[in-house]
Homo-oligomer: A and B are copies of this chain.
Amino acid sequence: MAKKILSQEENSVLKSMFLRSHTVFINFNMVKMEANCFTITMAPAIESIYGDDIEEKKEAYLRHQNFFNTHAVALSFIAGLAYAMEKEKKETGAVDGQTIESIKAALMGPTAGMFDSLFFNCLRVIAAGIGIGLCADGNFLGTIIFILLYGVSQSVFKYILINLGYVYGTSFIDMVFETGLMTSLTKSASVLGLIMVGAMTAQMVNVPLNWTLTVGQTSVVVNDIINQIFPGLLGVVLLFTLVSLIKKGKRPTQLIFGILAIAILGALIGIF
């Protein structure tokens, strides 16, 4: 996997992506989290790769509108990698959309954990520590040092990592393509992706049923019973209900408002 020399176009795409990757929290929401930023970040790459092919572009944009969540700096790395994969997809057909999805899904959880502690819990605390010392004496330099140490250095890391993701990604994919094992890579990536989605579902999806069934003289906490069958069963059921609705062509809008309606209704009748 030799280091690739980047063309001028690639360089300018990466630079634009780097700038855009700062919008991590633009219109952040609980459904897609950082998806908007990811779409915005990928736009230069998608435009450069797919040019006029409007159908493929639509697909690509849809792909990068999916749920995404990780630390701001890690996002740049994954975006660089996604650029490499999209390029491979177009040029050689070696990668397909599902592989890209799976790899993104697999990388979110672990990078979030690592980068959160590296930057948010470590670098930030150190930078704040230094800044606080100065500010407590009324010295505005404390603020400036904080911004330099924390904000600017995160930016620098974003820059380095978006390039790293692209370069590393390309050569990895080239290697796989040469050996003609793309389907296997897709399948393996799906396995890893599914494991991670399963893990994240277990950690994050939560159906907060708060329903005590009182019949006669006994009362049953329904959620306890359900969790005894399989912990978090309701979340799993919810997820697969949604999956089957999506496969039946339901739009996310409908799902979201459905959930909202059920939640508020449920709260009204007292089961949440």
Contacts and interface: CB of A to CB of B under 8 A. Distances in A.
Contact of A229 (B117, B125, B218): B117
Contact of A129 (B113, B121, B129, B216): B216
A45 B218 CA distance: 42
Contacts of A220: 122, 125-126, 129
A217 B238 CA distance: 48
Contacts of A129: 213-220
A130 interface: yes
A90 B256 CA distance: 51
A115 to B, nearest CB: 9
A65 B229 CA distance: 28
A144 interface: no
A132 interface: yes
A128 B213 CA distance: 12
Given A114-B230, A230-B114, A122 B215 contact: no
Interface in A108-158: 113-114, 117-118, 121-122, 125-126, 128-134, 136
A5 interface: no
A136 B229 contact: no
A213 B132 CA distance: 14
A113 B229 CA distance: 7
A2 interface: no
Interface in A217-258: 217-220, 225, 228-230
A217 B136 contact: yes
Contacts of A136: 216-217
Contacts of A113: 229
A121 B225 contact: yes
A153 to B, nearest CB: 15
A122 B225 contact: yes
A36 to B, nearest CB: 28
Contacts of A122: 220, 225, 228-229
A54 B126 CA distance: 57
Given A122-B225, A225-B122, A216 B131 contact: yes
Contacts of A217: 129, 132-133, 136
Given A125-B220, A129-B214, 16 more contacts: A114-B230, A117-B225, A117-B229, A121-B225, A125-B218, A125-B225, A126-B220, A128-B216, A129-B217, A129-B220, A130-B216, A132-B217, A133-B215, A133-B217, A136-B216, A136-B217
9 contacts: A114-B229, A118-B229, A122-B229, A125-B225, A129-B215, A129-B217, A130-B215, A131-B216, A133-B215
